Amino acid sequence: MYLRYPRTDAAPSYTEFLNEYLLANKPVIIGPSLISSWAALSRWVNEDLSIDWEYLKTAYGSCEVTVADCSTRDFSDQKREKMLFRDVVSLWQSGNGQSSYVKDWHLARTLATTSSSPPGEDALNPDPFYTTPDIFRDDWMNAYYSAYTEDDFRFVYVGAAGTFTPLHRDVYTSYSWSTNVCGHKRWWLFPPDQTHLLFRKGGEEHLETAYDVRNVDSNQYPLFNLAKPTVVEQGPGETIFVPSGWYHQVENLTACISINHNWCNSVNLPSLYDSMCAKVTEVEHALEDVKQLLSQSASPAATDATSSEPHKGWEDEWIAIVQDVVEKDAGWNWLTFWCMVRHALALAMDRFDLASETLWPHTPRELMPSLHFITERIRACCDDFVKRPQHEIALVPTLNTVLADIHQLIDTAE
Ligand SMILES: O=C(O)CCC(=O)C(=O)O
Ligand SMILES: [Fe+2]
C-alpha cells in the first residue's frame, strides 16, 4: 500500500508553500507552470521531447563531469569516475554507456565562473539556462557557498533509462528540489518517522540503510517490509520538493535531464543543527582510539607544570581532528555551519557589511518567513550550541566572533 502523493498543477504562492510544505515538512509535485520560463526547456529539448544531444555537446562538451556507474555498487554509493561530457554523450549516441549517470554536475557554477562575456552582458549568468523558482529562493546553503567558496549545491543530472540514485538522505537533512527538464523519474520517499525501518539489523555498527529499495534482503533488513514509502512518477517539466530528512531513491524511467538544488533555511535549521550534532558524535565514536592515543601520549610535564589549562593541548588537537573529519566526510563543520547562518541572517537584515553577495541573487523579504521567526530559530540553535563542550567553541577563535556577530544581529532585530 503506497501513500498518496500531493500534486499541485498551479505553482503555489510563497505563503502557501511555506505553510503547507516547508513548515509541514511534506513533499509535493508542482506542475510545469513553475518553470515555464526556463531556457533549458527549448535549448536542450527538441519539439518531439527528445534530448538535443548535439546542442548539449557543442555547448557543454568540454566540461569535466562525474559519471556514476549504476551497475557497480561502491559501499552506499555507486562507482564514480571523471569524464568529459562530450565523451559520455558519444557513448550514449553509439548505444553504449547505458548504466552511466552524470551526477552532481555544477554546470551553472562552471558557466558563471568561466564566463568570457564582454562587459555589459550578464557576466554572472552567461548562459541562464534556468532560474531558481521564487518559492525556493530562501536558500542559505547556496547563498553562502556561492559567495565564499568554489563550491555550491546546484546540480544537473543526465542519465539513460534505468539509471538510478540509491536510497539516501540529503546532506545534513537539507531539502532538495528537483525539476525534470525532460523525461520521467520514479521516486520512493520515506517519511522521517520510518527511518528506523530502513537500517540493517544489528547494533550501532550496522547503521547502514538498504541500498536499492527494489531489491532488499529481508534477512538483513527485517523491518523494511513494514515501511510504506510514497512512490510517485515525475514527468517532464514537473518539480518535486523533497522535505528535510526524508530518505529517497530515484530511478530514471526514460532518458532524463534534471536540475536540482540542495538547500536549507530557517525552517529546517533545527534539523540541520541536530544532524550536525549527530555527525560530530558519530565521528567522535569512530575515532575513539585516536582520542586514547592523544590523551596517553600527552606529556604531563608539558601540560600541568607551566600551563594554567592542563590537558588543553591534546583536547584541542582532538577537537580539530574531529572537525576536520566531519568536514571531509560531509563538506561542512561547525565553523561552516555558523558562518552560513551569520551570512543568511545578515542578508535578511540588509546588513551587507557582514555578507557578501556574488553569484546568488538577493532574496526579497516576502520570500522568507518573518524576521522574528528567523531569529527565534537561530536563537534556539545558539542556546543549545553554547551548552556543548566549551573547547569546541574556544578552539577556533573565529567561531566565537561569528557567534558574537549572530547574537548582536539578533539583538538589533528585536
Ligand atoms: O535524480 C536523481 O537521480 C537524484 C536526485 C536526488 O537525490 C535529489 O534531488 O535529492
Ligand atoms: Fe537526494
Structural domain spans, the chain: 7-263, 269-413
Given a cut of 60, whether residue 122 has pLDDT beyond it is no
- Tell me the C-alpha distance between 116 and 137, whole Å: 27
To test the ligand 1 pocket, which listed residue (248, 251, 256, 263) has its Cβ within 8 A of the most ligand atoms? 248
Domain 7-263, CATH among 1.10.357.20, 3.60.10.10, 2.120.10.90, 2.60.120.650: 2.60.120.650
Given a cut of 60, whether residue 133 has pLDDT beyond it is yes
Given a cut of 80, whether residue 155 has pLDDT beyond it is yes
Higher pLDDT, 202 or 158: 158
Mean predicted confidence (pLDDT) in 45-73:
97
Which ligand 1 atom sits closest to the C-alpha of 157? 1
Mean predicted confidence (pLDDT) in 138-162:
95
Q: What pLDDT, on the 0 to 100 scale, is given for residue 266?
A: 98
The one-letter amino acid code at 311 reads: H
Check if 179 has its Cβ closer than 6 Å to any atom of ligand 1.
no
Of all helices (H) and strands (E), which one includes residue 72?
Answer: strand 64-74
Check if 157 has its Cβ closer than 6 Å to any atom of ligand 1.
yes
- Tell me the C-alpha distance between 359 and 185, whole Å: 30
* pLDDT tier for residue 114 given thresholds of 50, 70 and 90: confident
- Nearest Cα neighbor of 108 from 148, 142, 74 is 142
- Tell me the C-alpha distance between 247 and 363, whole Å: 28
8 A C-beta contact, residue 169 and residue 245? yes
Check if 165 has its Cβ closer than 6 Å to any atom of ligand 1.
yes
Residues with Cβ < 8 Å from 207, sequence gap 6 or more? 199, 282
Phi-psi region of 75 (alpha: psi -120 to 50; beta: other; left: phi over 0): left
Q: What pLDDT, on the 0 to 100 scale, is given for residue 305?
A: 46
Place of cell 531539502: 175
* Ligand 1 midpoint to CA 206 (Å): 24
Q: Which region among 82-91, 181-190, 197-206, 296-305 has the lowest average model confidence (pLDDT)?
A: 296-305
Given a cut of 50, whether residue 118 has pLDDT beyond it is no
* pLDDT tier for residue 357 given thresholds of 50, 70 and 90: low
Check if 242 has its Cβ closer than 6 Å to any atom of ligand 1.
yes
Question: For residues 215-230, b (16+ Cβ closer than 10 Å) or e, as one string?
Answer: ebeeeebeebeebebb
* Ligand 2 midpoint to CA 363 (Å): 24
Given a cut of 60, whether residue 165 has pLDDT beyond it is yes
Q: Could you please report the per-residue DSSP string of 338-369? A: HHHHHHHHHHHTT-GGG---SSSPPPPGGGS-
* Ligand 1 midpoint to CA 404 (Å): 37
Q: What is the chain's mean pLDDT, rounded?
A: 91
Q: What pLDDT, on the 0 to 100 scale, is given for residue 124?
A: 55
Q: Could you please report the per-residue DSSP string of 200-255? A: PSSSGGG--B-S-TTS--TTTSTTGGG---EEEEE-TT-EEEE-TT-EEEEEESSS
What residue's CA is closest to ligand 1, atom 1?
250
Given a cut of 70, whether residue 121 has pLDDT beyond it is no
Which ligand 1 atom sits closest to the C-alpha of 260? 9
Report the length, in residues, of the chain: 414
Q: Which residues is 240 bridged to in the sheet?
A: 29, 178
Q: Which residues is 261 bridged to in the sheet?
A: 154, 177
Q: For residue 287, how far is the Cα from the chain centroid? A: 25
- Tell me the C-alpha distance between 54 and 127, whole Å: 17
To test the ligand 1 pocket, which listed residue (177, 181, 258, 261) has its Cβ within 8 A of the most ligand atoms? 258
What residue's CA is closest to ligand 1, atom 8?
176
| The three three-digit cell numbers of residue 329, written as one number | 566526510
Sign of CA dihedral 342, 345, 347, 350: negative
- Tell me the C-alpha distance between 344 and 149, whole Å: 15
* pLDDT tier for residue 117 given thresholds of 50, 70 and 90: low
Place of cell 558557466: 111
* Ligand 2 midpoint to CA 403 (Å): 30
* Ligand 2 midpoint to CA 387 (Å): 32
8 A C-beta contact, residue 35 and residue 262? no
* pLDDT tier for residue 38 given thresholds of 50, 70 and 90: very high
Q: What pLDDT, on the 0 to 100 scale, is given for residue 394?
A: 75
Which ligand 1 atom sits closest to the C-alpha of 103? 3
Mean predicted confidence (pLDDT) in 139-167:
95
Mean predicted confidence (pLDDT) in 105-116:
87
Q: What pLDDT, on the 0 to 100 scale, is given for residue 227?
A: 97
Mean predicted confidence (pLDDT) in 216-235:
95
Q: How many CA atoms lie less than 13 Å away from 52 in the CB half-sphere?
A: 15
Mean predicted confidence (pLDDT) in 220-235:
95
The pTM of the full predicted model, rounded to 2 decimals, is 0.93
Q: Which region among 269-273, 318-322, 342-346 has the lowest average model confidence (pLDDT)?
A: 318-322
To test the ligand 1 pocket, which listed residue (69, 78, 250) has its Cβ within 8 A of the most ligand atoms? 250
Check if 70 has its Cβ closer than 6 Å to any atom of ligand 1.
no
Q: Which region among 101-115, 345-359, 369-383 has the lowest average model confidence (pLDDT)?
A: 345-359
Mean predicted confidence (pLDDT) in 222-232:
95
* Ligand 1 midpoint to CA 146 (Å): 21
Of all helices (H) and strands (E), which one includes residue 185?
Answer: strand 185-190
Q: 89 by DSSP, 3-state: which? A: helix
Q: What pLDDT, on the 0 to 100 scale, is given for residue 414?
A: 79
Q: What pLDDT, on the 0 to 100 scale, is given for residue 331?
A: 84
| The three three-digit cell numbers of residue 117, written as one number | 562575456
Which ligand 1 atom sits closest to the C-alpha of 163? 3
Q: What pLDDT, on the 0 to 100 scale, is given for residue 115?
A: 65
